[in-house]
Chain A
């Protein structure tokens, strides 16, 4: 594992295939799901929002129309009064009194009506007056004010007078009735004064707005939706939170909440615009939409608060379900991915583990190809099984070959041991003997080889020297060598004649020679008194005879085929007389048939030259010189046959 998570790429790279697969597929499908989910949510949300907006504006316009129609009835009262007064400008107190009384009496919607005049309009003695008729306990009462009550500064008088337009006052609490909200509609009264048309007074009607509250509170949207009305200056006229009514403006609320959005909505509302905007509910503090329409004549504005979460609950529910299904889908997908990737990686992991076992040398693992599955992993498994079997077979073969080789090598080693143990190795062998010097060497080759030599005194004057080469390998050859050596020793004592010894030995060997082994033997007996050197040859190389001061010559031929081939072979012998300084050099074919790298043999000629070069030396030196020559001739080429040399020199 990575020590820290700083290298995410490295982490990914070190994760399993199953993880990478799951990560990649899940990441991409999550992205896809999120895009689809988001798009779906946005579209359905917009559709619903549009629908809500439509139904909102329908509902609001219905309520607004009802409110306006009621207000219009109230407006008509002072409008009619003004119409009557302007059409009959010669009005007096009595006319005004009667008109006001009739208006209040005949209009159930009207709480009271007043006519207020500019100074000296009614006559040149009156600096101003107000006639006011109002309902009280089912009766119609009246009251009078004069200019001392400074009604000129009242909003209901001053505003329509200054702007020369009929206006609805801001709603106010009825001072006598208690909790009833009232509003006054004021209409300027015009007349001709000093030849000019000008405002001569204001006619008003007071209306109870009790019904307004009821009508607005009938607006129900969801559980927490509600309607409210604000005046032209933003004052709350109706609202479910009663403490706000006539107490705060929408802008006060916005300031207290630090809600710039609400302030902007309020500004749009008092401008007489209609709209639909997101906001936060004053009642619940949750997200909502506010839809608003102007109540045109009054300059007031009706707003409806739509609780967003409630109206969106369907779509939220739908999207929650879609989301949950998506999550469920992901879990299923994850399970499928894990299953599939495991079905791919499990055999691979098994293979990986198995490979490690193979590396350790365990080939006896179980590996079952998944039946019926012919995918890449199945093929890999089969290839692996094939490889395993091939390896097993190879190793088995190798083991067998190695065993055979080892057996052979051990046989050869035994044979060599026998071979070497059979030849005399102590020189000089007869330290007290002065008649001759003898020296021999046997350098066994690795594989092939069956050379041997031996020398012994048959009696006090006869010295037997024998050299041979068993054709064959291994222990049988070595044993044959031993047998031949023993037989030679035995028969030499009996006859002292080389040809007879060979014949007898041959007869013995050939008799039970089922293995068809045969031996070349050169056998000689030296009479140390006379110097007669009798010899017989059975298929062996003829030794070189070096008479003192002469060139080396091969011995004259006297012999027959190798021992062990035919049982009845008759051998011949010959005798040369040796005198002091004469040398006999016996050798095996390993000497003359030593190869160099050009496949050339050392040959009799080279041996002859080599011997000539050192014929005055002692037998030991002659041997070592000749061996040196052979070595320099063969070079690095390995020795292919036993090299055996025996030098006999008469003193």
Chain B
């Protein structure tokens, strides 16, 4: 998966320079995905006709909303695709368009520029933006636990934290660096930092001893590149007092000001989508796979299933859906404090203005 995206990235870089600018993934679209796309178009048409017939008045009053994911379609955003596909947004009176964020077209920029009404952002990135004066507001903190982790091979002699000293570690840039660096400092580790790309190949080939990984993504890629979990040593940051809860839903203050009900409806419908996805994993994975295929992405079912199940583990930490979407002040304070200490932000934004309660899931 990430290998593919890595490939995409490499080729994009080269292609842009060469002047062709066509990502290779476009070429992957053979007749089968085209047929599937056609099928979906027809289905979508049929579904919309059905809804028009059912509730013509409601259809007319749907409020148009756009929403940006952090990345290309994958199970990390399953809840939103499920909410869209299963008509939960319509149920809440919204007509939602999902836009895919990408490295060269980040969701934060889309939100900032007003191209979308809502977007997924990481808490750390959002705090940074807010401290820079961008008036974005957290309306839902979906993930409660950080999925960022460090992975090492036991075969390289790393079994515990101290074993990592003086080893090469692959780190992603920007907000991905904050937790690892704080971690190294906390445990007094002297690491040789190597910038890490979007694949785990450098790690797999022994280019680094320790790799950054998202639990729901790269960790599984490593496992399905032939390393058993027992052969790996893992360090989860949330277990070391460095919990930066990641994916949350953000909107600009002015969007909220215009119509706060839209945000409430969007959050409620999205959470319903997520709960449905958690309880119907196979169906949700199929929906995600449809969007991936439509975006000409290589799609591996087992990987998406793993991703969805880990999203559930990170979002539902106490076994209950109650409180889904809450941003705990403690998590905010911890994240902001560390951001300030690492010099990324100068001022900690005020929690009250950063977080706007748009309703949490109150069912069990």
Contact = CB atoms under 8 A, between A and B. Distances in A.
Interface of A: 132, 143-145, 149-156, 158-159, 161-163, 167, 170, 172-176, 178-179, 232-235, 243, 246-249, 251-252, 255-256, 266-267, 270-271
Nearest to B11: A175
Given A175-B24, A249-B224, A162 B303 contact: no
Nearest to A169: B201
Contacts of A167: 205
Given A155-B201, A233-B201, A255-B224, A173 B28 contact: yes
B302 A256 contact: yes
B204 interface: yes
Contacts of A243: 32
Given A251-B225, A270-B226, 9 more contacts: A132-B14, A143-B14, A153-B196, A163-B206, A233-B204, A247-B299, A248-B300, A252-B302, A255-B302
Given A152-B195, A252-B300, A234 B27 contact: no
B225 A249 contact: yes
B151 to A, nearest CB: 14
Across chains A and B, which 8 residue pairs bring their CB atoms closest together, nearest first? A162-B207, A251-B224, A175-B24, A233-B225, A175-B11, A153-B197, A172-B7, A247-B298
Contacts of A143: 14, 17-19
A249 B223 CA distance: 10
Given A155-B201, A248-B300, A149 B225 contact: no
Interface in B207-256: 207-208, 223-226, 228
A163 B194 CA distance: 12
Contact of B17 (A145, A161, A173, A248): A145
A163 B24 contact: no
Nearest to A271: B226
A233 B7 CA distance: 14
A150 B207 contact: no
A174 to B, nearest CB: 7
A170 B10 CA distance: 12
A158 B197 contact: yes
A233 B226 contact: yes
A233 B3 contact: yes
17 contacts: A143-B17, A144-B17, A149-B14, A150-B13, A154-B6, A155-B6, A158-B207, A161-B207, A162-B168, A176-B15, A232-B204, A233-B204, A246-B4, A247-B299, A249-B300, A251-B226, A266-B226
A159 B298 contact: no
A340 B263 CA distance: 96
Interface of B: 3-4, 6-7, 9-11, 13-20, 22-24, 27-28, 32, 168, 194-197, 199, 201-202, 204-208, 223-226, 228, 298-303
Which of B9, B14, B32, B223: most chain A Cβ within 10 A? B14
A296 to B, nearest CB: 16
A628 B5 CA distance: 143
Contacts of A233: 3, 201, 204, 225-226
Given A144-B17, A155-B10, A162 B194 contact: yes
Given A155-B10, A233-B3, A172 B24 contact: yes
A159 B202 CA distance: 5
Nearest to A184: B10
Contacts of B16: 149
Contacts of A235: 3
B136 to A, nearest CB: 27
A172 B27 CA distance: 12
Given A163-B206, A175-B27, A232-B204, A149 B6 contact: no
Nearest to B4: A246
Contacts of B13: 145, 149-151, 154
Nearest to A161: B207
B23 to A, nearest CB: 7
